[in-house]
Amino acid sequence: MYEKILMAFDGSETSLQALDEALRLAQLAHAKLYVAHVIDVIAPLGMGLTYVPADLVDAYREEAKRLLDVACARATAAGVACETLLLEVEGVTDSVASCLIRCAVRVDAQLAVLGTHGRRGVSRAFLGSVAEAFVREADCPVLLVRGLY
């Protein structure tokens, strides 16, 4: 079965549901869980900022560390070995999905688990889909967990 499972975690209800599913699979397979969070420090540039203030980047990093600690604590409580990975989008041509793809390769993930919000139509086209982009590029099997909300 799986020895290494990568799970993308952003702290949303959907990613919490995906985390629970990843934990169940990791328990069954006695797999190590890699929990990744991607900081997109480039995104504020699209909101009219001409640069990203260092304080904002620091705040993103602190929140990401807090979220990863929450996920790892849940894994530890479930008896699952866990490693957290804090990733950052590397430039305007990079993306959250690309960061996760590189991470999956780096840790040699045999399964990736991502939450998906199940958006349709205009909202999906406007907001994009990290899960969809990841599925298109991933070399490992991908489990998508659709949010209940």
Strand ranges (DSSP E) for the chain?
A: 4-8, 32-39, 82-88, 111-116, 142-146
What is the signed CA dihedral for 15, 7, 140, 25, rounded to 10 degrees?
Answer: -90
CA distances for 81 relative to 9, 42, 50, 75, angstroms: 16, 32, 41, 7
Q: Say if CB 31 and CB 123 are below 8 A apart.
A: no
**Domains recognised in the chain with CATH numbers:** 4-146 (3.40.50.620)
CB atoms inside a 10 Å sphere around CB 95:
20
Q: Reduced to 3 states, what is the DSSP secondary structure of residue 66?
A: helix
Condensed to tens digits (0 to 9), the pLDDT of residues 94-147 reads 899 999 999 999 999 999 999 987 655 544 444 458 999 999 999 999 999 987
CB atoms inside a 10 Å sphere around CB 37:
27
- As a whole number of Å, the end-to-end CA separation of the chain is 30
Its pTM stands at 0.88
Residue 138, token pair as written in the block? 């991933």
Condensed to tens digits (0 to 9), the pLDDT of residues 32-41 reads 999 999 998 8
